[in-house]
Structure 1
Amino acid sequence: MLNSVIVVDDEASIRTAVEQWLSLSGFSVQLFARAEECLAQLPDNFPGVILSDVRMPGLSGMQLLERLQQQDPGLPVILLTGHGDVPMAVEAMRNGAYDFLEKPFTPQHLMSSLGRALEKRQLVLENRRLHEQADLKAQLEDTLLGMSQGLQQLRRQVLDLAGLPVNVLIRGETGSGKERVARCLHDFGPRAGKPFVALNCAAIPEALFEAELFGHESGAFTGAQGKRIGKLEYANGGTVFLDEIESMPLAQQAKLLRVIQEHKLERLGANQSIEVDLRIIAATKPDLLEEARAGRFREDLAYRLNVAELRLAPLRERREDIPLLFEHFARACAERVGRSAPAPSGAQLAQLLAHDWPGNVRELANAAERHALGLGSPNLAPRAEGQSLSDQVEAFEAQCLRAALRQHKGEIKGVMEALQLPRRTLNEKMQRHGLVREDFLEG
């Protein structure tokens, strides 16, 4: 239950009396003598109620109400009025005030009005939170494309982890989209306005690794001319994405562990520590604990990085996403060059679904771009093992159903006619593939 109240009144005796009443009743109280001070310190989505006098030097209670209505229309404002101010207070309620109390008022009257106002504020904030969650979910669906159960679960995990101050380890094969997932964890969390620094540990020569991560002072080593800010220091307040973390030299692993534990780093050649606030997102293909057992990775660092783990399924394990991704990449490429992308034929679609995609999404994007540019169908080798013919048929059937539902905007009669299926059969197939018509409705 919300219990925060801001009291704005130029009379110290009123402020003191109201604070005593409210504090004894368990409210969290903040006092201001002037409306200008309240506006300057009011946080976004303040979880409470404003209790304000009407007549004050500087901004009046009416002017404060007007400013607050512009800033947050859902914030309840209760006005404290003298006898002659009642008509003015009634007019203020027409303009958005929640209630008014005529002085002198009793503690019981005050508590009753505050209780109702706080209940309203709680509903407003909860409704606002749900809308924001829905907006974030829609944005994430446009960023991490896919309808498979694995992708839906991944999106839920990303939304859950994005707002948590924990390091994350992403496991996945080459080309499976690890950096994109890391970027989503950053963009959909509280660090979104701060730097996102991506670093591929396998691409940095070992001799330059320390200077690249931690920076250096002038003259720290031969050729070190001038001071240089390292990647970790540059990302202060934001997120560092360390791809192929298993390739990090052991000596630098120890220094990274110290940064994670102490939130401090030292530039190469410096004696002074610099405080940093970082979120580390690491990505790896092998199991870091197995790497640690083999002596190639520090076990203590592995545990520090793997506070939470996300596993990205290879494309061959989520074949129902292939047509959607192919269409997306082909359309994006075609738009860049000012042409329309031809739809893949049934034979091409079957070939896409049958391919093993060892390069995962990156390989699929390349094939889609070649298709969009008219450079010929991708030369895809058939799968040597793994998915059975029945599994491939199931994936193809799911894609046909999804395409028809999208084309007819969830209108079942149109889908039945397009696919020449009776209603009962269509319902059974949609249920088997986890398809819901509401997901395809227009708007």
Structure 2
Amino acid sequence: MTKLDILIAEDEPAQREMLSGFLAKQGHHVLTAANGEEALAKVKAHTLDLAIVDYKMPGLTGLDVLQKAKQINPGLDLLILTAFGTIDTAVAAMKAGAADYLSKPIDLEELLIVIDRIAGRRTLESENEILREQIREKEVSQDQIVHGSRQMAELINLAGRVAASNATVLIQGESGTGKELFARLIHRLSPRSAKPLIVVNCAALSENLIESELFGHERGAFTGATQKRVGRFEQADGGSLFLDEIGEISPAVQVKLLRLLQEGEFQRVGGNQTFKADVRLISATNQDLGSRIKEGAFREDLFYRLNVVPLKIPPLRERREDITPLVDHFVRRFAKENRKPIEGVSREAMDQLVKYDYPGNIRELENILERAVVIARGATLTAAELPFGGRLPDEEEETGAGEGSLRQALETLERRMVADAMKAAGGNQSRAAEMLGLSERMLRYKLKKHKLKS
């Protein structure tokens, strides 16, 4: 538990001493004050993290102390103590900037929970400020990870803490959630930032090519190998290698990758010479590797080597607080790129954008907004420019539900989702496969199966 510098402002001596002794036993540094004036004097004289203030005290009330203490130290957190029957005053204190309030008599376990939450938030804010300074120093573009949710703030904070190490990182999340952006952030904040970050999409390479792509090959190693080729691990020496869709690699490549992670050594395809590789490995997947292990398709020992630090990015539908800042960001960007005088988004359009579930996540939102900006006629994007046609997809799909067999319904749904992904990706199979969480090989199969143009 983080230790805080805490001030207790309470006019009842027994309550003041009880709270002071209890928090001191938890390891906190505690000061006390018998009234509001004394409390403000100590706020001026000391560097404090938290003030626990009784609402009803002689002279200055707790609300008065709250307002004046915030003027002295805007970063100070205040916890208001209120008697039963005065909840309205506690709510007023919260509106004035209190971090929380507790009703008397004080439940000490509840007090510890509130203090732990405040301490955790202060630690996160402090670390994020340090991280923002590092980002400014290393000229990492903040455009990369636009967010408004606490979940993403915590993930960015974790990425910043992990960056300084050489530990492998496994980034998990659905297609389109921004896994590569996190890999780039980790690399740019690491001591390896002066060296290259090499990106390999394992799903885009055939089983025959991926081993050669990663480890290189000697001349004559296979038909068509007319000259020696340096692999991605050699290219990334001293830097970082990002393996996207790591779950797609074959068992044979998994064995070589495991050896490299254990020994730091590898051999080119068709060669006997052993090479050393000083590479920080960051990998990503949209698959459940635990299930792949149970199926025998992925090595458990390799998983543990890759998963030293797991980073799980939630889908956009689980962090809707991010949608509005992302909409603002993309609208500004595409308006500038297309030289369109777009000033914002209508209330109805924003309502639809926030409520939509985004199976393709941020990549789908980006595509929707690029299209909307391009076809917009006015200075404000309206619901008419969105692909929902004034209604959300779920509303449109209600008609006809339950007709036919389950197999027919699933086939119809699969065909529509594949067609929609191809349309959203502008016909690009790699992007469409990522949006659907499929390999390109599986997407090509489904395009043929449903007689859809590729």
The TM-score normalised by the length of structure 1 is: 0.55
Matched, 1:136 2:126: no
- Asked whether the equivalents of residues 135 and 189 of structure 2 are also in contact (C-alpha less than 8 Å), the reply is no
CA distance in 1, matches of 2:143, 2:174: 22
Aligned to 2:233: 232
Q: Superposition pairs for residues 59-138 of structure 1, below 5 Å?
A: 133-136=131-134
Amino acid of the structure 1 residue aligned with 2:149? S
1:159 matched to which residue of 2?
A: 160
**Counterpart code for 1:352:** L
Supply the AA of the counterpart residue of 2:133: D
Identity %: 43
2:128–2:157 CA contact under 8 A, matched in 1: no
Query: Are the equivalent residues in 1 in contact too, given 2:202–2:245 (CA < 8 A)?
Result: yes
Gaps of 5+ in 2: 1-126, 377-383, 396-454
Question: Aligned equivalents of 2:161 and 2:214: distance in 1?
Answer: 29
In 1, Cα distance between equivalents of 2:239 and 2:152: 26
* Separation of aligned partners in 1, 2:392 and 2:240: 40
Shift in Å at residue 137 of structure 1?
5.3
Deviates more, 1:262-271 or 1:344-353: 262-271
* Aligned equivalents of 1:175, 1:209: Cα separation in 2: 23
The residue type paired with residue 292 of structure 2 is E
Residue correspondence of structure 1 range 20-419 to structure 2 within 5 A: 133-136=131-134, 141-375=142-376, 377-380=385-388, 382=392, 384=394
Report deviation, 1:237. 0.9
CA–CA separation in structure 1 for the residues paired with 2:393 and 2:134: 37
Note the C-alpha offset of 1:352: 0.3
1:131: how far off?
Answer: 8.3
CA contact (8 A) 1:354 1:383 kept: no
Rounded to whole Å, the distance in 1 between the matches of 2:128 and 2:173 is: 31
Q: Deviation at 1:164?
A: 1.3
What amino acid sits opposite 2:374 in the alignment? L
Supply the distance in 2 between the matched residues of 1:148 and 1:132 (Cα, whole angstroms): 19
Give the direction of change, closer, same or farther, for the CA distance of 1:199–1:170 in structure 2 (3 Å limit). same
Number of the residue aligned with 2:381: none
C-alpha distance 140-311 of structure 1, shift in aligned 2 (>3 A)? farther
AA matched with 1:277 = D
Contact 1:167 1:279 in 2 (8 A): yes
User: What's the TM-score, normalizing by structure 2?
Assistant: 0.54
Specify whether residues 210 and 134 from structure 1 end up closer, same or farther in structure 2 by C-alpha distance, changes over 3 A only.
Answer: closer
Displacement after TM superposition at 1:373 (Å): 1.5
Aligned amino acid, residue 134 of structure 2: L
- Render the CA deviation track for 1:299-329: whole Å, top value 9, x for unaligned: 1000000000001110001111111101111
The one-letter code matched in structure 2 to 1:361 is I
**1:359 CA drift (Å):** 0.4
Residues 325 and 316 of structure 1: is their aligned pair in 2 closer, same or farther, counting only changes over 3 Å? same
Distance 1:272 1:184 in 2: 34
Report the secondary structure of 2:287's partner residue: coil
Please tell me whether the aligned partners of residues 171 and 310 of structure 1 are also in contact (alpha carbons under 8 angstroms): yes
* Cα shift at 1:382: 2.7
My pick for the range that moved more, 188-197 or 357-366, is 188-197
The 1:247–1:131 alpha-carbon spacing in structure 2 relative to 1, beyond 3 Å, is: closer
Determine the C-alpha separation between the residues in 2 that align with 1:163 and 1:383: 44
Superimposed CA distance per residue, residues 103-124 of structure 1 (whole angstroms, 9 cap, x where no aligned partner): xxxxxxxxxxxxxxxxxxxxxx
Q: Which deviates more from structure 2 when the two are superposed, residues 263-272 or residues 305-314? A: 263-272
CA deviation map 1:351-370 (0-9, x unaligned): 00110100000000011111
**Contact preservation (8 Å) 1:342, 1:372:** no
Q: What number of residue pairs does the alignment pair up?
A: 257
Q: Runs of 4 or more off by more than 3 Å in structure 1?
A: 129-134, 137-142
CA distance in 1, matches of 2:172, 2:129: 31
Give the structure with higher Rg (CA): 1
What secondary structure does 1:229 align onto? coil
The secondary structure found in structure 1 opposite 2:186 is: helix
- Asked if the contact 1:265–1:275 (Cα under 8 Å) also holds between the matched residues in 2, the reply is yes
* Alpha-carbon distance in structure 1 between the residues aligned to 2:132 and 2:365: 29
Q: What value does the CA root-mean-square deviation take over the aligned residues?
A: 2.1
- Paired residue type of 2:386: P
SS in 1 for 2:344: coil
Partners of 1:321 and 1:132 in 2: CA distance = 22
**1:90-137: CA deviations, max 9, x gaps?**
xxxxxxxxxxxxxxxxxxxxxxxxxxxxxxxxxxxxxxx998644125
> 1:250 is matched by which residue type in structure 2?
P
